[in-house]
Structure 1
Amino acid sequence: MAGKFELYTDESGMHRFRLKASNGTIVVTGDPQESKDDCLKSIESIRKLAPYAELKETAGSA
C-alpha cells in the first residue's frame, strides 16, 4: 500500500499537509500556507521533485 497525503487546517486557520507512510507514520509535514491551493501546489512540487532528489548525508543533528 502506498503512502498518502492528508490536507488539514491547523489551530490558527492555516492550511497544511502531511505525508503518511502506509503504516501511518508521518514522514513529511508541510509548512503552513494561506490557501488550500498553495498547499496543493506544495504537494504537487513534492510529487514532481522527489524521484530526482539526491540523498545528502550531513554530520550532526538536524
Structure 2
Amino acid sequence: MFEIFKDKSGAFRFRLKAKNGEVILASEGYTQKTNCQKGVSSVKRNAKNEDRFELKQSSNSKWFFNLKAGNGQVVGTSEMFENETNVKNGVKSVMSTAAVAETVDLSK
C-alpha cells in the first residue's frame, strides 16, 4: 500500500508498505500533493523494470537502493539492509508490490 502523508515540515511524502506493514520504499518531500501523487505513479511504472533500481553501499557498509525514473531522477529510496542479498530481496519486494498497491491519502 502507498501512503501519502505530510511530514513535520509540511512536505508531502509517500511510502510503500509491504503486506506485513514494513516500509519498503520512501520518497523525498514534495511541496504539492499532485507532485507526490505523480511520484507514486512513477514508482508504479518504473518498479516493473529491474534496471531502474540502483544498489548502493553506504559508508557504514550497509546497503540500500534507489528507484530511478526514466530520466534518471530518484523517485524512491529503500531502508538500510545488512547485506547485498537482503537489499536484492528488497528490490524484489518493491517490484512485486508497487504495481498492485492501492494508495491511501493520510494527508487530509
Smaller-chain TM-score range? Answer: 0.7 to 0.9
* Cα distance per residue 1:1-36 (max 9 Å; x no partner): xxx000000000000000000000000010000000
SS at match of 2:8: coil
Provide the identity percentage. Answer: 31
The Cα shift of 1:58 comes to 5.5
- Determine which structure has the larger strand proportion and give its number: 2
2:17 maps to 20
Q: TM-score, normalised by structure 1?
A: 0.81
2:41 maps to 44
Q: How many residues align?
A: 59
Distance 2:41 2:22 in 1: 20
1:48 is matched by which residue type in structure 2?
A: R
* Cα distance per residue 1:29-55 (max 9 Å; x no partner): 100000000000011001011111226
Unaligned runs of 5+ in 1: none
2:4 maps to 7
* Aligned-CA RMSD value: 1.9
Runs of 4+ with deviation above 2 angstroms: 53-62
Which structure has the higher relative contact order (CA within 8 Å, separation 6+)? 2
Q: TM-score, normalised by structure 2?
A: 0.49
